[in-house]
């Protein structure tokens, strides 16, 4: 039996500035002697902090009872010895057993509280998790797929590979990939349970049983290192407030020699004729609006730099324009109408914009729709595709 590399290495770290002690990886010692150094580190951390010590176990993949009792013992003893210190244990909703196991500590010592890490790394996710947005996401994928099906082979997509689609959303992209390219294995991960439930229903409806949909946090994945020939992450780096952290995870799970494939937009380059000035003003404002919520929808052309900084080689970048002439112009118009609803109807309101601003903001979307449906009009939505190879 070959099990080499199955376990993720255990790591304990203390950051005095954030007063955070972090445990990650797999820790299954036979005796506490094996983790004595880490136990000492925790004791020293407790001695150094004032007020609150955060114990981060979000990336703790496995911990046996031997290790759990040893670490718990230290914290429980500290509660007695230092009643002025609070302990906040930060668990992940992805690794459910940690929340159950560490949650008991609060029943023993009220000084210990448990915080389940949630979607705070995804400030934009709540805007698109609404199930009413799902049909629009499907239409978007239909529109981009016309281009990507011919682009993907240039970035390493081929039959028989193992692939992961990170931030898969409603999972329609992997269904199309499976039909067109027949990868040997597909794992599709997202942090929205509603989207995954929809994805599983769609897959079941098509009789597709071999896509592994999994709930997970793209920046803290349970997936092991060096697993996949092809890792896709579409339209997600741009709505993630730490794209470099996400890219580092994509790099980690990609096999040496495999490729990471990302797509992103540059919203200010959305265009249309007639009424180009109104359209351009609105999409410039879209970029500023997303920036307010820590998202960079101008990221597309920056993909090359991000991939290079993350350590990829043989970087390939290209762009394509989804237009009203690709297929059904009404599809294009429906997508713009949905953007208007979310951007002008929710996000702009949340930012506290004036009604005058919102009215002008909406006008640009409506002009973009007019351009899409106009018999002589032209409307475009540009997308940047980039991929890089992980060095062997």
Partner 1 sequence: MDVAEKAPVEATFEPLVQIEMEMETFLSNWHHCDQLSTFIARIISHNRTDPVRHANFFSSALNELLEVSFRGGSPDGQIGCAVYRHGRTERVKLTFPCLSRQRQFFSEAVSNTRREDALTHYLDSISTGLTPSRDVVFLDLAINFDAQIRLENSAPPSITLVVDLPLEGVVS
Residues forming the site for partner 1 (CB under 8 A): 1, 3, 6-7, 26, 28, 30-32, 61-62, 64-66, 68-70, 72-73, 76, 94-97, 100-101, 104-105, 107-108, 187, 189, 196, 200, 209, 212-216, 222-223
Distance in Å, CB of 210 to partner 1, minimum: 9
Q: How far is the CB of 257 from partner 1 (least distance, A)?
A: 23
Nearest approach, Cβ of residue 104 and partner 1 (Å): 6
Q: Indicate the residue among 27 and 370 with the shorter CB distance to partner 1.
A: 27
Identify which of residues 1 and 81 has a Cβ nearer to partner 1 in the complex: 1
Sign of CA dihedral 385, 314, 163, 297: negative
CA-based nearest residue to 176, from 118, 214, 216, 137: 137
Q: How far is the CB of 347 from partner 1 (least distance, A)?
A: 31
Q: Given the complex with partner 1, which of 71 and 312 has the nearer CB atom?
A: 71
Nearer residue to partner 1 within complex by CB, 187 or 289: 187
Residues sharing a CB contact under 8 Å with residue 208, sequence separation 6 or more, in sequence order: 175, 178
Rounded Cα distance between 220 and 380, Å, is 35
Please report how the helices 65-81 and 96-108 are oriented relative to each other, as an axis angle in degrees rounded to 10. Answer: 30
- Least separation in angstroms between residue 186's CB and partner 1 is 11
Minimum CB distance to partner 1, residue 131 (Å): 18
- Closer to partner 1 at the Cβ: 62 or 276? 62
> Which residue, 34 or 273, has its beta carbon nearer to partner 1?
34
Q: How near is the Cβ of 332 to partner 1 at its closest, in Å?
A: 35
Calpha distance 90→382 (Å, rounded): 39
86, with CB counted inside 10 A (0-12, 13-18, 19+), is middle
**Nearer Cβ to partner 1 (28/242):** 28
- Cβ partners under 8 Å of residue 162, min gap 6: 183, 184, 185, 186, 227, 228, 229, 230
Question: In 10 A of CB 264, how many CB atoms?
Answer: 26
What is d(CA 183, CA 143) in angstroms, rounded to the nearest whole number? 22
What's the first-to-final CA gap in the chain, in angstroms? 25
């Amino acid at each position: 039996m070959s099990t080499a590399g199955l376990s993720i290495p255990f790591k304990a770290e203390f950051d005095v500035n954030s007063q955070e002690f972090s445990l990650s990886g797999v820790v299954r010692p036979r005796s506490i002697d094996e983790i004595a150094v880490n136990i000492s580190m925790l004791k020293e951390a407790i001695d150094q902090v004032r007020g609150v010590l955060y114990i981060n176990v979000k990336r703790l993949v496995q911990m046996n009872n031997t290790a759990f009792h040893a670490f718990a013992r230290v914290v429980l003893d500290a509660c007695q010895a230092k009643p002025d210190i609070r302990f906040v244990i930060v668990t992940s909703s992805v690794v459910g057993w940690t929340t159950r196991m560490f949650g008991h500590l609060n029943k023993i010592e009220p000084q210990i509280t448990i915080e389940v890490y949630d979607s705070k790394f995804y400030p934009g996710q709540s805007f698109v998790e609404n199930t009413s947005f799902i049909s629009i996401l499907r239409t978007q994928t239909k529109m981009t797929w016309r281009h990507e099906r011919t682009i993907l082979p240039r970035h390493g997509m081929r039959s028989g590979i193992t692939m992961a689609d990170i931030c898969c959303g409603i999972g329609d992209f992997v269904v199309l990939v499976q039909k067109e390219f027949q990868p040997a294995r597909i794992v599709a991960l997202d942090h929205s349970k509603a989207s995954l439930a929809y994805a599983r229903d769609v897959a079941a409806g098509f009789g597709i049983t071999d896509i592994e949909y999994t709930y997970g946090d793209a920046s803290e994945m349970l997936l092991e290192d060096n697993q996949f020939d092809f890792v896709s992450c579409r339209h997600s780096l741009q709505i993630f407030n730490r794209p470099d952290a996400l890219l580092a995870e994509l790099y980690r799970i990609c096999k040496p020699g495999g490729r990471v494939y990302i797509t992103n937009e540059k919203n200010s380059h959305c265009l249309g004729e007639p009424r180009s000035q109104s359209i351009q003003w609105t999409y410039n404002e879209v970029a500023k609006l997303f920036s307010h919520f820590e998202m960079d929808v101008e990221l597309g052309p920056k993909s090359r730099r991000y991939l290079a900084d993350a350590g990829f080689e043989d970087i390939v970048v290209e762009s394509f324009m989804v237009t009203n002439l690709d297929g059904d112009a009404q599809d294009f118009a429906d997508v713009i109408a949905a953007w208007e609803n979310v951007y002008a109807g929710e996000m702009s309101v949340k930012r506290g914009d004036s009604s005058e601003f919102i009215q002008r903001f909406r006008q640009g979307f409506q002009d973009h729709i007019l351009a899409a449906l106009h018999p002589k009009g032209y409307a475009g939505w540009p997308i940047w595709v980039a991929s890089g190879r992980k060095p062997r």
